[in-house]
Structure 1
């Protein structure tokens, strides 16, 4: 029942961050999340923080360029595991899930709505990257790239915030063409490109994935690129390498 409560919290209260959702779940189940900073590298060019969160018997970590982002990602990972463990509860769409395309324009926060949509379906949270800024001082223009799973949209605006909102609006417009009542269809749009979920990987009978579970990752001369390629082929997901 606690896991089902988590599902209701996620779908019935849009705009909440993973940290807030996980805290409410902890309050209801009397398992208050505990965050610990595992690593803090602030001397390098881009600071990196790693936080561990423990809620009940689940422990997850998250990494980010700020403490808040690292905690945010740790909470998100814990939520996804809780959702996977309660797949029956999450199989039926919640009628309280808002349809962003039907909300009044002045009440719509596209950035928050897109994040809520991602949490509701168990996707990774949207990531925004400022890709370009230009124009004269009195008329600046910013370009932001938003990535959600394997999708990407570009937004532009006179401020960084407007550019983010524009990118989020494009995503919401893309998904609004699919009926909000059809949870399965919308999930498949993103799920098809991945071919699998954490839940299906963990319970897969596949030979390659089960060999990985039994093997050490420190075997000398292991071809990790080939190994990942074989697992991807077996499990039906794509591997993409990005120069960061």
Structure 2
């Protein structure tokens, strides 16, 4: 991708040329990728912050700042000369502005590269290829954890979250179950170590994203998170029925009720079975709602389906309280 469209107006011509010269040794790499690779090697991943979003819907304008280690890029003025000492260099301030979040991030990243005087050819990271904004390693064993992290950074999503759901087995043969959550999606992985289970969960998540995209290139985009303020202000049929009617009627299919409510309000529900039984020998389940903030409710029952129904019931009770509290 040509970098001409992302050149920061605050950059000096000579440093700009240095960046373009270094990118000839890494053809096809964007400033975001090069800065991320530098951060991976130095142990300080870049952090992007959206400072401003303005303009009309048909002509938006975004401003992003980036911080990597002790170097912050969060102003628009001209940076100090590269000949000054490191302390002065770290006080340099610049930012990226563009008609899209990605364009603004590109400008911020390019400005950071100029401040850091990074030679992209010296960043000793395995060569990667970019496909539709998703980075995949060129060997036969792609690092799914890295792919998900790169995907989140490039698209402005929340970073994937990994949670150890269960640990079982004797000390010499432990088995771990890890949950990978990314936006509204969740997947579980099992392995003989936490790292192995994490990798397995990430691989499943990559496969799910490819499946939802309909091809190997990940084009899936998450739905906007549903906030509880939206539920409070909603006058749709299912949420109104939930406000009016009690949740204590025997033999009610709360799973179906939750499904109808989630479709109406635009959030997703995922059920996670917990392999370990309760002290009373009942099955356990977690129901996760892709609301903002994320809602997780627990359920138990004499079977997995009963545990799901109980978790859905708990989630409906929580939504009912949140949707009626002003």
Larger RCO: 1 or 2 (CA < 8 Å, sep 6+):
1
Q: Name the structure where strand makes up a greater proportion of residues.
A: 2
Q: Give the TM-score normalised by the residue count of structure 1.
A: 0.48
Q: Name the structure where helix makes up a greater proportion of residues.
A: 1
Q: Give the TM-score normalised by the residue count of structure 2.
A: 0.37
Q: Rg bigger for which structure?
A: 2
